[in-house]
Chain A
């Protein structure tokens, strides 16, 4: 077997194993949450009778291990069960929310990834001169401000004062793509500002690091053109760290944007998860946890695979 193929198979197997472990952790985690599902659903207005009635109905009296395997096999077949709180099919409600989350993450990524790499290259080109310093200063400032604050500031000026875009980003199926894009303009801007700095700095550092190494100098001395140096020598060696940080930020855009969702009233998965956690709706929490874990593990796996494939030393083993 080709060593790269072996590495890839190992890497994918490792991801699956990790996902299985994550599923167990999620299940255990949801079991040890304080409080009681029935109590949380009924809130302050619960009476002992209505609590007992609800607990029996939700099947909370079966052993945990049985429930874990039932859940796992169900999830493998795409059956995530029904929500305890409102009796809806989880796969269906979650699917709609996941679609929204991916929609927002996609457009944020489409804008932020090329922009970050472009700004990174620009910073390298003008290293230690004013464009480099300006780019770094602006992006580092924007990453340092809490995202909800950027959100509120944009909302106040762009939405309340200027009226250019809406402050409420609720999207639904009957909207056209243009309307949807206009609705998510502000959250996309905030997310771009939040993830830009990390990717930009990493691009800058990675390219600078490579450009200073001896083999680039050798390539220059061989008389290769600048384009060929970058294409054949610099880029393959800089791509691994860049892809890594890009994937990390993509994962963040999918799983970590609950604050932005709340501020802009965006119907994504974050808010969906939080609502169900506070109501102890365990099947939904488990389903969301599993999907978030899969996204994280999956994107990291992609990053590693790209690194493996891009690494000349691995592609051409001695």
Chain B
């Protein structure tokens, strides 16, 4: 009975005859948890059907006049948002971390996880009128993986031995097993283009729910609804626009004055103020991105694990989350992995700030007491210079002399990161553990920015790749996490939230840990209330 009453109320909320607040209050009185009540509400709103029409404007930071629509060279937020409008990948990853079929209807793996077959959806049309087929898929994968490729996805495309097309099926054979291959192919760069986009990679022709109308890099990008979209009438807006607003204050003002409906990259220091402002609300979701201090395990003095452990105990993670992220984040555990990843072992003990242990390890390391240079720049992550200062203070309490060297933002990624033995850095995270570890913690990885070379760890990683049983894989990942946590060169104080702000005019926003603005799908998932 209780359930019926709530369902009835939820339907009325959807029709806007009862306020959301009243509904949640009533649900609480009936003893229904807020989570359950909210999901009930979401279902009711879905059933009532979203409104159609209108022109959505997203004010986004992270766009430059150097941008292009070429999926291979996408590296910042606005080009990513563009791809989400006009392009589509073979598979997607849902907000719950599950694989969802997109241009591939069905995925099958051989028992050894070496051969993967994707059944390509029929009746999908590119914006130029051409029908998409398995050849386009193969050519796209070729462009991102061949030797001349400049694609940002080149790293994850390694390990492909051969690809072939058989009717509607596209098959990939790998050099070595990889149980996570479909997740890798969900990478946002791997947008399927006609003939792989070899001829004109930046022409913005894809299969996505929106069609490119205006492309002015660094200024604005306008898209109109694709009437021939294979998924049917899923898009609620007539048109969608990304307005590039790199200045944080200007972005906030544009949202508050109603010129844009959604913004990304809300600064943690103003997020609470914005949330209190009328007509807008802040949406934050714990993602996989993390702020780190990285030590080269093969360079003195960091080649000494006692010193690495001393530094790991000397950092105050809670303080960093409070002061650098203003609470919009969670503490790290010297791992690049957190609960946002599938198959994460939550029982791994949390490393705490412990001055006594730091002193103990520091004494054992036998370090000569010369200052340990930590290089930072605000370009590494927002607040990195301040985080360095906090680290210096907490290390001093343990008798460890840190020297903070501030580097210019300019050229930080080419001159400091992955070159200097101890510096601040940032990782955006990956959809699955295997990809994160393979990208940066495997001995032979290009971006092994901690120079972590551990044969046991590598062996476990390869073992997990071939393991299709999830329970066993979880156990292997747990073992690896413990090795990395106690031996690695990674000091991970915090995971940052994605912080967006949304106008009350917009309904249907879904929190998605994959990326900001609902994993870039806000123009598809939301509608005007």
Interface residues of A (CB under 8 A from B): 34-36, 39-45, 47-50, 53-54, 57, 83, 85-88, 93, 97, 152, 155-156, 159-160, 163, 166-168, 170, 172, 262-265, 267, 271-272, 275-276, 278-279, 281, 284
Contacts and interface: CB of A to CB of B under 8 A. Distances in A.
B68 A87 contact: yes
A97 B249 CA distance: 23
B67 A263 contact: no
Contacts of B413: 39-40, 43-44
Nearest to A85: B66
A160 B68 contact: no
A316 to B, nearest CB: 52
B510 interface: no
B282 interface: no
B218 A267 contact: yes
Contacts of B260: 168
B250 to A, nearest CB: 6
B327 interface: no
Given A41-B73, A262-B250, A50 B414 contact: no
A231 to B, nearest CB: 47
Please report whether the interface of chain A is mostly helix, strand, loop or mixed according to DSSP. Answer: helix
A43 B417 CA distance: 11
Contact of A159 (B150, B243, B253): B253
A65 B75 CA distance: 33
Contacts, number: 134
Contacts of A272: 65, 218
State which size class the interface on B falls in: 35 or more
A55 B247 CA distance: 31
Given A86-B68, A168-B245, A43 B149 contact: no
A47 B414 CA distance: 11
Given A159-B253, A168-B259, A43 B75 contact: yes
B59 interface: yes
B401 interface: no
Contacts of A57: 150
Contact of A172 (B220, B244, B249): B220
B150 A53 contact: yes
A163 B258 CA distance: 9
Interface in B219-271: 219-220, 243-247, 249-250, 253-254, 256-260
A284 to B, nearest CB: 8
B410 A156 contact: no
B213 to A, nearest CB: 11
Contact of A53 (B148, B216, B410, B411): B148
B382 interface: no
B435 interface: no
Contacts of A279: 64, 66
B220 A167 contact: no
B152 A45 contact: yes
B415 interface: yes
B156 to A, nearest CB: 10
A283 B259 CA distance: 35
Contacts of A264: 250
Given A39-B413, A163-B257, A278-B64, A263 B220 contact: no
A155 B253 contact: yes
Nearest to A54: B150
B147 interface: yes
Contacts of B447: 44, 47
22 contacts: A34-B415, A42-B150, A44-B413, A50-B154, A53-B147, A53-B150, A85-B67, A86-B70, A93-B65, A160-B256, A163-B257, A167-B254, A168-B243, A168-B260, A172-B219, A265-B243, A265-B244, A265-B246, A271-B65, A271-B246, A278-B64, A281-B66
